[in-house]
Amino acid sequence: MSAPRIRLVATDLDATLLNREHMMPHENKAALERCIAAGVEVVVATGRAISTVPREVRDVEGIRYLICANGANIYDNATDERLYAKFLSREAIESVWDLMENAAIMKELFWNGDPYTSRDALDNLARFGVPDWFSEYVLSTRLPVDDLEKFAREHIDEIENVNFNYANYNIRDFLVERLKRDDGRLYTLTASLPFNIEIGGMGVDKAGAVAQVAEWLGIAREECMCFGDNSNDVSMIKWAGIGVAVASGVPEAVEAADYVTAAAQECGVAKAIEHFGL
């Protein structure tokens, strides 16, 4: 029996479709355009808020759906209309309120398609473990507020995602121990960077969001290919008919994959699309 034809390709952005400079190599763009020309649906599936999805990605003609905030939102790429949303519950936010007030942790909130953090954090990124190579991106995308806890209270019923950044593994161990008691009960934990923990709503992950898009389009799971590199990609890599990890990905993602392609810096997305003849 021949393998099903791939009709949908969903790809993570950072360290998968994009290189370490947060740019999309020409080879990857050309590969996506070939897929679209052949009738394959190409979907973005990222942990980013919609406002931080690069213009060069959004301008690829034929990309209709943007999955953002690790699956909390699905947007129409042409209109920015939010087609799907699963927010954190009020109970979930209140359950981590002590961490929101912890001065040793950098807090980020995604609301209304934008990422917010405290003005003080943006002035002291190194103190919270944000490395130099990531600082420019953070400074150019995060919106500063003077009182993040007050901001969270004002928007407590529409928070898409909460990120905690930390400076060392002692803080990480504390966060993991503190958060795991309600993981799967009030919220969903994941990560996309070696210095953060990301909190989404119950049942929120990239797999569920890709499955939603596939259902809208009448495409079976077996007809989907998903690309990723990090912990927040594992759910869709496992769910897909063909799950692909870039070789530069974390061990958890690589082990979950049906196929391991070249590293992100070597245009692994393009090489896998060529390998499977899309």
Other Cβ atoms closer than 10 A to 60? 16
Q: Which superfamily, per CATH, for 8-85+204-275?
A: HAD superfamily/HAD-like (3.40.50.1000)
Residue 3 has pLDDT above 70, yes or no: no
Kindly state the DSSP code that residue 16 receives in the 8-state scheme: I
pLDDT value of residue 39? 97
Task: Please check whether the domain covering 90-200 is classified as CATH 3.90.1200.10.
Answer: no
Do the domains at 8-85+204-275 and 90-200 have one common CATH topology?
A: no
Q: What is the mean pLDDT of the chain?
A: 95
What percentage of residues in the chain have a pLDDT greater than 70? 99
Distance CA 189, CA 88 (A): 12
Q: Where are the domains of the chain?
A: 8-85+204-275, 90-200
Angle, helix 268-275 to helix 26-37, in steps of 10 degrees: 40
Q: Are 171 and 106 contacting, i.e. CB atoms less than 8 angstroms apart?
A: no
pLDDT value of residue 6? 96
160-209 per-position pLDDT tens digit: 999 999 998 899 999 999 999 999 999 999 999 889 999 999 999 999 99
Mean pLDDT of 151-156: 96
Distance CA 203, CA 39 (A): 30
Cα within 13 Å of Cα(261), Cβ side = 28
Residue 155 has pLDDT above 70, yes or no: yes
Burial environment of residue 259 by CB neighbours within 10 A (0 to 12, 13 to 18, 19 or more):
middle
Of 235, 223, 211, give the one whose Cα is nearest residue 35. 223
Residue 225 has pLDDT above 90, yes or no: yes
57-115 per-position pLDDT tens digit: 999 999 999 999 999 999 999 999 999 999 999 999 999 999 988 989 999 999 999 99
Give strand pairing partners of 8: 41, 224
Residue 2 has pLDDT above 80, yes or no: no
pLDDT value of residue 1? 38
Residue 278 banded pLDDT, cuts 50, 70, 90: confident
The answer, as to whether pTM is greater than 0.75, is yes
42-55 per-position pLDDT tens digit: 999 999 999 999 99
10-23 per-position pLDDT tens digit: 999 999 999 988 99
What percentage of residues in the chain have a pLDDT greater than 90? 93
- Amino acid letter for position 212: Q
122-136 per-position pLDDT tens digit: 999 999 999 998 999
